[in-house]
Structure 1
Amino acid sequence: MNANAPPVNTEQRSRAVHPCICTDRIRETGDVATLMFRRVDGRKFDFLAGQFVTIRFSWGGQTCSRVFTISSPPTRPDRITLTIKAAVDGKATRILHDHFGEGTMVEIGDAAGDFTLEGRAVEKALFLCAGSGITPLMSMLRALHDQGRDLDVTFIQCARTPDDILFGNELQTLSRNMPRLKVETVCSRASGSDDNGRAGRLDITRLASLVPDVGSRTVFLCGPSSFMQAMRGHLIELGVPTGLIFSEAFGGDPSTRTVPPGTTTIVAFERSGVRREARESATILETAEAAGVYVDTSCRMGVCGTCKVRLLNGEVDLNDMGGLSDLERQDGLILACCSTPRGDVTVDL
């Protein structure tokens, strides 16, 4: 998560976790499923539209934990839904997608994150997303509908093919019920005979055509890092002030890691008494796991802050997405999951 300015109080809550049971499973596309959960204790979920939770579960004798944005709105607090894409190289998401359904048990932590409409004075909005980045925006849009808020929203979803479009029918229904909601889908590739000459990536020309008044809108941008980088550049070029672009990234960007090729780098784990050569572009977390040094971790992409560790010596490239506060950075803390050494380093592990 990487939101430009926190609109609400984002101080750390206690890291409570709540036993939850899956009550429904909905197949959205071939590799995306929505799981619905309720709390075992019968209490309601407390969250803001756009926030995320950490989900923990056991499978095959191992405990897994991952961060997902809530796709349901806080206006329906008896249940939450998590819309999960089974990543090709994602063990935890594949387990959830392939094996979890009604009756399965998990633990879900308190919600966090400041990628939200709350506390922001928004007159007109652009919701711009790709892939799983649609989930926080669907939570926001569903909440706006339930609250009867007549906000001017242009909603653009980018997908690979028409078969990969998420919540298409619901979005069309919402657009009929919300007079100032405009929904657009952009597919980079055609599916069968559905092209009609319209397939292609969202470039600056197409963006300007779909949203002629984009310069006067507050933008909520969510998706893979490469998508967000490209869209942010287009938005700024089209006149959107940087202070009105709020973003949340799904997945890290390995291209930002700057370990010099061929460099031998040693990571020393002070408390464990272990020294380990780090392979090229490996994070502190990956090196620790290879060395058998335990690190408490969850999202593995710089969002949740679970893997905070103190850097004692050396320098790292820290490519987090909001998991550290400015004070924590000044205090010498880094996130093991998204920190790559610039040379030999020592960490307090």
Structure 2
Amino acid sequence: METPTVKTFRLLPSSDDRFLPFTFVPGQFLNVAFWIGGAKMNRSYSISSSPNEREFVDLTIRREPRGAVSRHIDDLLKVGDLIESGGPVGKFTFTGKEADSIVLLSGGVGITPMMSISRYLTERSWPGDIFFIYSCRTPADFIFADKIPVLQRLNPKLHVTVTMSKPDGTDWKGARGRITKEWLTQLVPDLASRRCHLCGPPAMMDSVKAIFAELGIPSDHLKTETFGAVKPIPAIAGTTAKPTAPATGPLVTFSKNSKSAKVRMDLKVGDSPPRQSILELSEELGIGIEFSCRVGTCGICKVKMTSGDVDMEVQDALDANDKATNIILACQAKPKSDVAVAA
């Protein structure tokens, strides 16, 4: 137990091997899959342990009240259970070779990849400054509250600052309130010249991005990690889940299912962009393309495009071979012409 709603799960090799069958880079994540209610559900969870630990990998997971997978993991998983996982995946990584200092900004459960990075750098006696800035609601929500001080004692270059947004009624003696421009620039000298990583709730991330923009810091100085930020298009109240407006965009053919439909170009509601993605169309048609993050980083929704052309805003989960063989990310792919996919 890390907090009343967050647990760390230690995963070991399922074989008799002592060591994990893979290596990873600090900041990466695993895709895990469970069969729940007759359906296969995938989720992406950042690794919180250090890559130096070859015998296990830790996933630190918050139990979401309406999260089918996180509730399954928290409530039903037992010691000895087998877990299907894929990866490791992700480019939200830092090994110490990329810059001579690092600013790790996180909120809530977004602290997990920051712990992997900080543990790794500390164990390697990395000489650079690590500015570890964490925001959460109350002391009870402070993930790794007992582990961060241990790292601080081991690493004099690890500068930790924790702020609570709602500490009233507690004995918290540290910083209070949300991250502000003045506070951040006071904590981190020469902020504009440093490499920064950001992971946390969408509102917190948007606020920090706005601070960086106001300070005129180039966007390539700030690496971000987001899971689940893009949600399915919600149905209009009192209607069925399927939109009723006629679709006028390019035709998408799902060859394995022998189904085809035009994409919608006039989406006005929800968190999705105006043009429908192939994943969103597949959900309307019941195609069953698997997915997890919906933001182009986990790679679970990879599918082969056999004809046509698409736009993809994010392609992090695609490698050079994927691109050479016309593998696309269904969650990001928005048809520019008629398209056929092997799904």
TM-score of the aligned structures, taking structure 2 as reference length? 0.78
- Is contact 1:224–1:251 with CA below 8 Å preserved after alignment? no
Q: Is the 8 A contact 1:265 1:341 kept in 2?
A: no
Aligned to 1:234: 211
Tell me the amino acid that sits aligned with residue 65 of structure 1. Answer: N
In the TM superposition, 1:98-117 aligns within 5 A as 98-117=75-94
Counterpart among 166, 187, 190 of residue 189 in structure 1: 166
Aligned residue in 2 for 1:5: none
| Match for residue 80 of structure 1 among 41, 57, 71 | 57
Given that 2:226 and 2:295 are in contact with CA atoms closer than 8 Å, whether structure 1 keeps it comes out as: no
Tell me by how many angstroms 1:105 deviates.
1.3
Structure 1 segment 297-308 matched on structure 2, within 5 A: 297-308=291-302
Distance 1:115 1:43 in 2: 28
Which of the numbers 2, 7, 11 marks the counterpart of 1:37?
Answer: 11
Which residue number corresponds to residue 336 of structure 1?
330
1:136 has 2:113 as partner:
yes
8 Å Cα contact 1:35-1:101 kept in structure 2: no
Higher relative CO (Cα under 8 Å, sequence separation at least 6) belongs to: 1
How many aligned residue pairs are there?
A: 318
1:323 and 2:337 matched: no
Distance in 2 of aligned mates of 1:312 and 1:78: 44
Which residue identity is paired with 2:19? K
**Residue identity in the other structure for 2:157:** R
Q: Decide which structure has greater strand share.
A: 1
Q: Out of 127, 131, 138, which is 2:104 matched to?
A: 127
Mind listing any 5+ residue stretches in structure 2 that lack a counterpart?
235-242
Query: Structure 1: where are the runs of 5+ without partners?
Result: 1-26
* Deviation by residue 1:76-134 (Cα, 9 ceiling, x = unmatched): 11010001122344211221122213222102223222322237342221111112221
Q: Percent of counterpart pairs with the same letter?
A: 32
Q: Note closer, same or farther for the CA distance 1:284–1:89 as it changes in structure 2 (3 Å cut).
A: farther
Is the CA contact (8 Å cut-off) linking 1:208 and 1:238 kept in structure 2? Answer: no
The offset of 1:161, in angstroms, is 2.4
Larger mean CA deviation between 149-158 and 183-192 belongs to 183-192
Mapping of residues 250-329 of structure 1, within 5 Å: 250-253=227-230, 264-265=246-247, 268-271=252-255, 272-275=257-260, 280=267, 281=272, 283-309=277-303, 310=305, 312=307, 318=312, 320=314, 322-324=316-318
Q: The residue matched to 2:51 in structure 1 has which SS?
A: coil
Q: What TM-score, normalized to structure 1?
A: 0.77
Q: Is 1:28 matched with 2:22? A: no
1:202 Cα deviation (Å)?
0.9
Shift of 1:330: 9.0
Spell out, residue by residue over 1:1-24, the C-alpha distance to the aligned partner (whole angstroms, 9 max, x if none): xxxxxxxxxxxxxxxxxxxxxxxx
Q: Could you tell me whether the CA contact under 8 Å between 1:249 and 1:321 is conserved in 2?
A: no
Over aligned residue pairs, what C-alpha RMSD do you find?
A: 3.4
Which of the numbers 88, 92, 95 marks the counterpart of 1:118?
A: 95
